[in-house]
Structure 1
Amino acid sequence: MHRMGISVYPEHSTEEKDYAYMRLAAKYGFTRIFTCLLSVNEPKEIIINKFTRFIEQAHELGFIVGVDTNPTVFSHLGASPLDLKPFSDMKVDIIRLDGHFSDREDIAITHNPYGILIEFNGSSNTALDLMIERGANTHNMIVCHNFYPQKYTGLGWNKFMEFTNKYKALGLSVAAFVSSNNENTFGPWPVYKGLPTCEMHRGLPIDLQVRHLLATNKIDDILIGNAFAREDELKAISQIDKTKITFKLELAEGVTDEEKNIIYSYPHFGRGDASDYIIRSSVPREDYRNKTIPYRKYDKELFHRGDVVIVNDNLAHYRGELEIVEKDILNDGERNFVGRIPTQELILLELLKPEYLFGFIKME
């Protein structure tokens, strides 16, 4: 089950603003909060009191809370890998280790008696497999990627997937960050260019960032790295169908009600006997065997990548089949052009494997 999350940075905000943001996110089904202790420069007692109150408020709203730490934070709070009582006193649910201790201490911390989840840095080549071989408690181990405030420094997609595949192969839950496009957002550091994990996501609509991560079938929890996201962004994420890959679709002029029915009312999945040229959803064909889909003229000679077409009466045996074009094909009059996947959304097409479920989002 996927969890959606926000980030809250009490040292850079007010209790009133943070609580209002948490309430808003809870309204839209968000259940996880990330916060950072690396950037907090206050005495131990003030940190513990402030963050205890903050975490209690978050719990009342149904959130679990993870805190970003490193050995310096542990030392400042009087904690150690063998003694997590200060974090337990703050009611922390997840301790994210941005930096590491010794191999033995990293293993020992996963056996803490408080049941606090230990979250390892997913954007590095950490030898979690060796830790598990040496007795680390996988029930208390999860993974979360970094976010990257500086433009052009986010993970490349291939490297992101390399790290993600490594940790998923160990059976561990993996989280990653997306970024709000709201104005004047902030994170733990004075950099304001967004906070995504993957550089390619910086500046994309936030729902597309989330849908792209979900389409990998590898990412469990997705967190908005910067604060505060707009309400329309939170709402857009809440409306995502997390059960399949979904595309926005720019409908063509003249699309009929029957064609809209095929687009939006059927479960679609690419056939296993996949072509290089088109992704074929054959499910609607059975219902349209004895119906009609009249040919509609389309002036272009070719259909291009991202075009969506439906087979018409001129190829009656396949009538009703919905197809997504992957490589240029000839417009021979046997397919009606019904819409185009927007250019930004084509990154999802690269992740649509044979027999994966997919669908289309009605654009307002």
Structure 2
Amino acid sequence: MKTGISIYFSSGMEKNETLIKKAVKNGVTYAFTSLHIPEETGVDYGRSIRQLLDCCREEKLNLIADVGPETYEKLGVASMEELKSLGITHVRLDYGFSPREVVEISKHFYVVFNASTIMEEELLEWKQCGADFTKFAACHNFYPKQFTALSLRQVREINNRLKYLGFTTMAFVPGNLTLRGPLFEGLPTVEDHRSRMDEVAYNMLELSMEGGCDVVLVGDVDIREKDWEAVKCISQGYVELRTDLLPGYEFVRDQIHHDRPDSSEYLFRSQESRLYQQVIEAEERENGMPIRKAGSISISNKKYLRYMGELEIARVDLPMDERLNVIGQIKEKDMKYLTYVQKGFGVKLILD
């Protein structure tokens, strides 16, 4: 999945440069910044944005700039086209642009609009002016004030409609290390995420898999180091799951297993595991356990014929099968990820 950060000029160029380099190191490919947030006072916009753009360009980040008609004066440019020469790839437009102007801008940039407030009439006007919706992206707001953000259901419903029309969709999760003022209560798109700031990667995965977001960005300034490590994993298409494994099956650990694209609601099936070149003998079960608990890790033995070696993880309780050896269990604290590890997404089984 694609991940992003938010950059604020008031943080200072040194802080922003450090943040950008750390983000890119951890798989981030997008950055959002605003050129007209009222709290950005005492900032030399022209110099700061040019330094910021140079840094983003060097790191090959896609930069989403929140712009308005007054942006030209702040940056000392004569037209929207000149912004492209500065390295901005996506423009999130404020009010003040006609439908024809928006479509013309989309010939030079990806145009980002407010997913939560866009009206059908505006989409129709863009289409009538010749818009190519693959050059547009729908980005939800973040909400500084408590209980004003959206529900996950609202985001999913909005995104389903917009993705059907061909738009890329984006949203925000709150950070947990350096929060953004003036309220310092997190900057989520989904209100439930405000109370789950310590679960950055999980919130991102939820927005992607259940909310239908193509790009998920951190709205606040920074996140904790452990969360950067988790963001790196999901940016590369997998999550790490802490696991207890039986002796003799360590070979399934510390490698990435990807779920099949035709994902099952009952279990995760590793695409790679059937390539194991070894015979898996059936194991006798002394206690005759009637079920495989949700989170149990199994591997098909030779009684499963051509499926021998296939690793699977139960998403729900399932009946026992003599053709399967139960070899381990996902730790309870990581069970929540199983719902979203699907359709080609991966897992890496690690020791706690």
Query: Which TM-score bucket, shorter chain as reference?
Result: 0.7 to 0.9
The answer to whether the aligner puts 1:143 opposite 2:138 as a matched pair is yes
Deviations 1:323-364 (A, max 9, x none): 3334333457764251125455425425635xx454334245
CA distance in 2, matches of 1:27, 1:268: 23
- AA matched with 2:241: L
CA distance in 2, matches of 1:178, 1:271: 26
Question: Which of 101, 112, 124 is the equivalent residue of 2:105?
Answer: 112
Displacement, 1:89?
Answer: 7.7
Q: Over aligned residues, Cα RMSD in angstroms?
A: 4.0
Q: What's 2:13 paired with?
A: 15
Q: What's 1:95 paired with?
A: 91
The question of whether the paired residues in 2 share the 8 Å contact of 1:310 and 1:338 is answered with: no
Question: Which of 273, 289, 293 is the equivalent residue of 1:304?
Answer: 293
Structure 2, unaligned runs of 5 or more: none
Q: What's 1:169 paired with?
A: 164
Q: TM-score, normalised by structure 2?
A: 0.76
Q: What's 2:247 paired with?
A: 256
Which secondary structure state, in structure 1, belongs to the residue aligned with residue 24 of structure 2? helix
CA distance in 2, matches of 1:90, 1:266: 39
Which secondary structure state, in structure 1, belongs to the residue aligned with residue 69 of structure 2? helix
The 1:9/1:279 distance shift into structure 2, 3 A limit, reads closer
CA distance in 1, matches of 2:164, 2:175: 30
Which secondary structure state, in structure 1, belongs to the residue aligned with residue 21 of structure 2? helix
The answer to whether the aligner puts 1:349 opposite 2:339 as a matched pair is yes
Q: What's 1:336 paired with?
A: 326
Displacement, 1:232?
Answer: 4.2
Q: What's 1:239 paired with?
A: 233
Q: What's 1:359 paired with?
A: 347
Q: TM-score, normalised by structure 1?
A: 0.74
Q: What's 2:60 paired with?
A: 62
The 1:363/1:200 distance shift into structure 2, 3 A limit, reads farther
Deviations 1:29-70 (A, max 9, x none): 43432112332467999433432333233323433322224x
Identity %: 23
The 1:39/1:363 distance shift into structure 2, 3 A limit, reads farther
CA distance in 1, matches of 2:22, 2:43: 29
- AA matched with 2:283: P
Displacement, 1:226?
Answer: 0.9
Which secondary structure state, in structure 2, belongs to the residue aligned with residue 249 of structure 1? strand
Displacement, 1:239?
Answer: 3.4
The 1:84/1:25 distance shift into structure 2, 3 A limit, reads same
The question of whether the paired residues in 1 share the 8 Å contact of 2:143 and 2:188 is answered with: yes
- AA matched with 1:8: I
Displacement, 1:270?
Answer: 4.9
Displacement, 1:95?
Answer: 1.7
Displacement, 1:84?
Answer: 2.6
The 1:53/1:298 distance shift into structure 2, 3 A limit, reads farther
The question of whether the paired residues in 2 share the 8 Å contact of 1:100 and 1:106 is answered with: no
The question of whether the paired residues in 1 share the 8 Å contact of 2:241 and 2:347 is answered with: no
Residues 156-195 of structure 1 correspond to what in structure 2 (within 5 A)? 156-182=151-177, 185-187=178-180, 189-195=181-187
Task: Choose 278-287 or 219-228, whichever is displaced more.
Answer: 278-287
Which secondary structure state, in structure 2, belongs to the residue aligned with residue 34 of structure 1? strand
The 1:286/1:207 distance shift into structure 2, 3 A limit, reads closer
The answer to whether the aligner puts 1:84 opposite 2:77 as a matched pair is no
The 1:154/1:360 distance shift into structure 2, 3 A limit, reads farther
Displacement, 1:111?
Answer: 0.8
Displacement, 1:9?
Answer: 0.7
- AA matched with 2:12: T
CA distance in 1, matches of 2:87, 2:326: 58
Q: What's 2:200 paired with?
A: 206
CA distance in 1, matches of 2:188, 2:35: 19
The answer to whether the aligner puts 1:122 opposite 2:115 as a matched pair is yes
Which secondary structure state, in structure 2, belongs to the residue aligned with residue 95 of structure 1? strand
Structure 1, unaligned runs of 5 or more: none
The 1:348/1:106 distance shift into structure 2, 3 A limit, reads farther
Displacement, 1:322?
Answer: 3.1
CA distance in 2, matches of 1:3, 1:349: 19
Displacement, 1:96?
Answer: 0.9
CA distance in 2, matches of 1:328, 1:145: 37
The 1:51/1:247 distance shift into structure 2, 3 A limit, reads closer
CA distance in 2, matches of 1:306, 1:360: 14
